[in-house]
Structure 1
Amino acid sequence: MDNTDTYLLNFKGYYFQHSLLDVDLIEHLDDFEIRDDDVFIITYPKSGTIWTQQILSLIYFEGHRNRSELVNTCDRVPFLEHSAHKVDHVNRPSPRLFTSHIPYYLAPKGLKNQKAKIVYIYRNPKDVLTSYFHFSNWLVTFEPSDNIEHFMKRFLDGKVMGSLWFDHIRGWYEHRHDFNILFMMYEEMKKDLRSSVLKISSFLEKELSEEDLDAVVNQATFQNMKLDPQANYDCILKSENWTRTEEGYFLRKGTIGDWKHHLTVEQNERFDRIFQMKMKDFPLKFIWDINEE
């Protein structure tokens, strides 16, 4: 394990966030006991992780839908590899919901029995890059960048939490037959949240009434989540002094195509060349612009 970096920790070729990592858990992750009804949200950072936490919380917990229970989504669907709240996963009641950025090759062996479920959310990498750039400059636990060119270099070198985006999505997709996994595209979720919630709930075998479905869709919109302290992490991060400034929000924009406001023509063309080289044979589609079908 290489822990020489202030911000990042390299474990078996994958970069975790140094200050957030539960080192003991990650060193024994291969043997982490998986229950048949466990559900994992797995993403590359800045791909709709917190959004999907909210969706699953609303699907599984009536008290979350009707607001009778004031529990943060980060506690309902905690990060497996994070040490922040020292969650006792062994004694959590079933069904347990998890969030994780781990690559496929670090997944617990028990996930390969194809009973526990994984929802993998992916997003066009230009918007991931743009969101990640702003996010890293806002949080003190992440290495800031002077400009997006500087961050783009680190992103394309895989020297960020999550390592190389191309490897993360390729790894999970190419080994999809080893897992019980559903791939969902962030942009399709944005365009038709209701259909996406139905697809996710069907995969999870959680039947929702029309009333419950309406509640999930309504409370999982970006604007409603931005106003909901249980869902948006703002209060938690600011109370623990994890932000470099009081300005800004954990949920910044959530739009499709925001990269066009940040990348120059040359940066965009360079990114496209690398994307084509690494992903030309990749079957999953990507949406780069709000008007794209």
Structure 2
Amino acid sequence: MTEADLYIQYKGIYLPSLVHTAYSLKQYEEFIFRPDDIIIATYPKSGTTWMQEIVPLVVSGGDPESVESLPNWDRVPWLEIHQTSDLALSKRPPPRMFATHFHHNMMPPSFFEVKPKVIYVMRNPKDVFTSSFHFNGMTTFLVNEMSQSEYLKKFLEGKAAYGSWFDHVKGWLNAEDKENVMYIAYEEMITDLKDSVSRISRFLEKPLDADIVEKIADRCLFKNMKQNNMSNYSAVPEEFMGQAKLDFLRKGIVGDWKNLLTDAEVELFDAIYQNKMKDVKYEFAWD
């Protein structure tokens, strides 16, 4: 099926209509933030699920109860999807934790007024593309009948679901009030997860002893998180996500794009990346 069959457009961005409705987007626009809210912002396939495991553990001081008893889409729900409307978010105790795949300029008015804390997770766009290509192939709500070259063209042109990776990253990097935003890369988390957990705890003003940091980091290793049925999406019905043919938590590695992209595709990707990001003054972990 095509974009017209599966997607709606919101502020010029394609969104899967199965999880985004006119009603949910209206609720999103009217959502009232609190200063102590915590937002995990990501372009899809950049480490969202990973951060939905880490942040609740940091906030709870290492208590695993929430990550063992609540699916990640309930414990750290996406603000913009229709399933979230049933969660009575206004009654949740602080700090509330949310996720979003939306661009910075798509955040609702209350976000800019209240200025809650944001953890923005970035990942090498080649790995984002690779993970997205595999993920699309296992879902029924994303366009998945394209060849690799067709999907790469859509991705690089910003015509895939959730728009341009380049615009998403640049928009969040250019956010005002940067003291309220923590930037972290998937690659940094792979390299030193304990250091990443420590950085997150300091940013959230939730100091943790070294032994708690180590326990959280160990629990959040990909191989361990993959066994958590509250995090591995095994509870999602097969008609939405076909995990019989591919695990949602697939590899969790850096550089898997080398197993997918051809030399010509890498050359094209690099040329577009250099052009799109030439004015960005930020030292990415994958450069």
Tell me if TM exceeds 0.5: yes
| SS of aligned partner of 1:9 | strand
Aligned equivalent of 2:9: 10
TM-score, normalised on structure 1?
Answer: 0.90
Aligned equivalent of 1:206: 206
Q: Which amino acid aligns with 2:166?
A: F
Aligned equivalent of 1:154: 154
Change (3 A) 1:79 1:28: closer
Aligned equivalent of 1:279: 277
Aligned equivalent of 1:263: 261
1:239-291 Cα shifts (integer Å, max 9, x gaps): 35312451211111111111111111110001111111110121223344xxx
Deviation at 1:67?
7.5
Greater displacement, 205-214 / 252-261: 205-214
| Contact residue 62 and residue 215 of structure 2 kept, 8 A | no
Aligned equivalent of 2:55: 56
Aligned equivalent of 1:102: 102
Matching of residues 126-205 of structure 1 within 5 Å:
126-177=126-177, 180-205=180-205
| Contact residue 140 and residue 243 of structure 1 kept, 8 A | yes
1:231 and 2:231 aligned: yes
Taking every aligned residue pair, what percent have the same amino acid on both sides? 37
| SS of aligned partner of 2:230 | helix
Deviation at 1:137?
0.4
- 1: distance between equivalents of 2:187 and 2:62? 28
Greater displacement, 28-37 / 220-229: 28-37
| Contact residue 28 and residue 79 of structure 2 kept, 8 A | no
C-alpha root-mean-square deviation of aligned residues, in Å?
A: 2.2
Aligned equivalent of 2:247: 249
1:220 and 2:226 aligned: no
Q: Which amino acid aligns with 2:259?
A: H
Corresponding residue pairs, total:
285
- Structure 1 consecutive aligned stretches of length 4 or more whose deviation exceeds 4 Å: 66-69
- 1: distance between equivalents of 2:67 and 2:153? 46
| SS of aligned partner of 1:159 | coil
Change (3 A) 1:287 1:257: farther
Q: Which amino acid aligns with 1:83?
A: H
Unmatched 5+ stretches in structure 2: none
